[in-house]
Amino acid sequence: MISQDIDIKPFNTFGISVKARQYLPIYELQDLRLIEQNQPIFVLGGGSNVLFSQDYEGLLVHVKLSGIEKLEETSEEVLLRVAAGENWHQLVLYTLANNWGGLENLALIPGTAGAAPIQNIGAYGAELSETFMYLDFYEFASRQVKRLTKAACQFGYRDSIFKNELKNKGIITAIYLNLKKQPHTLKLGYGAIKEALEKQGSTDKTTIQQVAKAVISIRQSKLPDPQKIGNCGSFFKNPEVPVQQYDTLKKQFPNLAAFSTSSPMSMKLAAGWLIEQCGWKGKKIGQAGVYEHQALVLVNHGNASAAELMALAKQIQHDVYQKFAVHIVPEVNVV
């Protein structure tokens, strides 16, 4: 059923109050038939990576498809079908309860399973693409569900075909993941994970459940809980720069925080560090602020308007460019 003029404050973790002219929740695949392409369409999952800058004058489709199904199982692995509306962290907990490995480093990421491939969610040394097999995509134009392989999804750093060629062309209805039974291959390369495991006293024979616990404790110490303070996680992407530019910056700023990339020609800079160096950590403009424990995260301290958050983001981009000649771009989808 389509409703009119719905306030979507409860449906976005920034807690921005704007209206959607038309609103359609999708509980079952047959509800997709109600979508007409005679207006702009925006597909919403958990609303944890989107900033609405104004009322949405089109049709907001809210994906609430549910169900997790084990399709195949061998002595080594399982293939899961996860409906797009399933909560990501609940899915991670379910896989941990079954002792299936692969998602433990991605614990506590807000949002839905269907949104996960869009920006190829990643954290603490892992990303979705490593367990991902394929997905189902309902294409608006043909009104058909198509299967897209991992290669077809064109995954990159916080990127996929759904942010490019297939943007606004349809809806992910289910994802298919391959998870491993014991023995698990743990990803412990991220320094903070080792520290957290040591604190937990679980360095010997570490389990996937302990890795998840470590990730959860790191996230809780650095990232604000959207239930308590409106936010969308990292607001900007970590920018990639040519090695020459990195070398020049490193001479000027010896503490520059950076990581290598898959290419020897470029380095990824920690945008949180760049922003902190510009003096923005913990600062506010009106009700819009920069989180005190992680400068990459913008927060809504109460009733920030989208305009206030955008003004803050622009000011930060400007200052980072002035100081480092590096352009940082939003990771969050600004609509």
Question: Closer to ligand EPU at the Cβ: 41 or 312?
Answer: 312
Look at the block and give the residue holding tokens 């403009």. 285
Work out how close the CB of 218 gets to ligand EPU at its nearest, in angstroms, rounded to a whole number. Answer: 8
Q: Which of the following is catalytic: 130, 234, 240, 308?
A: 234
Whether 240 is catalytic is no
Can you list the pairs that 248-253 forms with residues at least 24 positions away whose Cβ atoms lie under 8 Å?
249/324, 249/326, 253/277, 253/324
Q: Is 135 in the site for ligand EPU (CB under 6 A)?
A: no
Kindly tell me which residue out of 31, 55, 159, 276 binds ligand EPU, with binding defined by CB under 6 A. Answer: 276
Q: Is 331 in the site for ligand EPU (CB under 6 A)?
A: yes
Q: Is 118 in the site for ligand EPU (CB under 6 A)?
A: no
Q: Site size for ligand EPU, by CB under 6 A?
A: 18
Question: Closer to ligand EPU at the Cβ: 71 or 334?
Answer: 334
Q: Is 62 in the site for ligand EPU (CB under 6 A)?
A: no
Q: Note the residue count of the chain.
A: 335
Contact between residue 296 and residue 263 where contact means Cβ atoms under 8 Å apart: no
Work out how close the CB of 294 gets to ligand EPU at its nearest, in angstroms, rounded to a whole number. Answer: 5
Work out how close the CB of 293 gets to ligand EPU at its nearest, in angstroms, rounded to a whole number. Answer: 7
The token pair at 312 is 């803050």
Q: Rounded to whole angstroms, how far apart are CA atoms 152 and 328?
A: 27
Q: Is 112 in the site for ligand EPU (CB under 6 A)?
A: no
Q: What track of x and - describes contact with ligand EPU for positions 190 through 229 (by CB under 6 A)?
A: --------------------------------xx------
Q: Rounded to whole angstroms, how far apart are CA atoms 37 and 214?
A: 45
Q: Is 159 in the site for ligand EPU (CB under 6 A)?
A: no
Q: Which of 39, 28, 33 is nearest to 84 (CA)?
A: 28
| Strand-strand pairing, 56-63 and 19-26 | parallel
Contact between residue 18 and residue 306 where contact means Cβ atoms under 8 Å apart: yes
Interface segment toward ligand EPU; rule CB under 6 A; list 21-29, 137-145, 199-207, 292-300:
292-300
Q: Rounded to whole angstroms, how far apart are CA atoms 230 and 48?
A: 9
DSSP 326: -
By CB under 6 A, the residues from 228 to 257 that bind ligand EPU are: 233-234, 237-238, 257
Give the N- to C-terminal CA distance of the chain in Å, as an integer. Answer: 24
Q: Rounded to whole angstroms, how far apart are CA atoms 251 and 247?
A: 6
Question: Closer to ligand EPU at the Cβ: 145 or 270?
Answer: 270
Work out how close the CB of 108 gets to ligand EPU at its nearest, in angstroms, rounded to a whole number. Answer: 9
Work out how close the CB of 68 gets to ligand EPU at its nearest, in angstroms, rounded to a whole number. Answer: 23
Work out how close the CB of 134 gets to ligand EPU at its nearest, in angstroms, rounded to a whole number. Answer: 23
Kindly tell me which residue out of 32, 41, 59, 123 binds ligand EPU, with binding defined by CB under 6 A. Answer: 123
Q: Rounded to whole angstroms, how far apart are CA atoms 166 and 139?
A: 9
Whether 81 is catalytic is no
Work out how close the CB of 192 gets to ligand EPU at its nearest, in angstroms, rounded to a whole number. Answer: 6
Whether 331 is catalytic is yes
Q: Rounded to whole angstroms, how far apart are CA atoms 165 and 38?
A: 20
Q: Rounded to whole angstroms, how far apart are CA atoms 237 and 269?
A: 9
Contact between residue 52 and residue 12 where contact means Cβ atoms under 8 Å apart: yes
The token pair at 8 is 């979507």
**Residues identified as active-site:** 158, 234, 331
Interaction site with ligand EPU (CB under 6 A): 123-124, 222-223, 233-234, 237-238, 257, 270, 272-273, 276, 281, 294-296, 331
